[in-house]
Structure 1
Amino acid sequence: MLVTLWIKDALQKPYSTFDHINTYAVKQSIAMGIETSPAEVKAALDKLIEKNIVETHQYLAEEKYYAETIYDKSNIYWYFFKLKRPD
């Protein structure tokens, strides 16, 4: 539950990488004296993506914009993440 909250906090800045999200969550866990691993952060992020709370994007350099894409779980480091805003 805390990891999910930390992920949402880390995503207040749109188009965050997994490195940013993971670093934020691990720092928060250390501050609270709780042990958290990148695997746990990834699992929580996967759930948020499945529940359609977090969007996945890839940066298209030639067009210079972030395009929403389908997360295929192949390599989390290729993606940028953003909290989905209510319509």
Structure 2
Amino acid sequence: MSYCQITRTPDMTLAEYEEVQRALGSEPLAGQLVHLVGVVDGSLVIVDEWESRADADRFAAERLFPAFERAGIRPEATTEVTAFETAVRV
């Protein structure tokens, strides 16, 4: 079973997302299976599928939050995260 996270951030732009991506560097993300990004109704939406919740949590703690800091961008308080263990993957 994999782990899916859908993140919706109304106040983040694609340009800010790209800054954080640059700060992450090009090293592969252990356990990440899918990463999709788009804008829906003015909100940045990111869909990630991970091999496990532990992989997602490790990425956030060790790579994502430090990348936000390096990019000089603060994660928005308005961010909504929906996460779940996947029951079916086609």
- Give the TM-score of the pair, scaled to structure 2: 0.31
- Give the TM-score of the pair, scaled to structure 1: 0.31
**Comparing both structures, which one devotes a greater share of its residues to strand?**
2
**Comparing both structures, which one devotes a greater share of its residues to helix?**
1
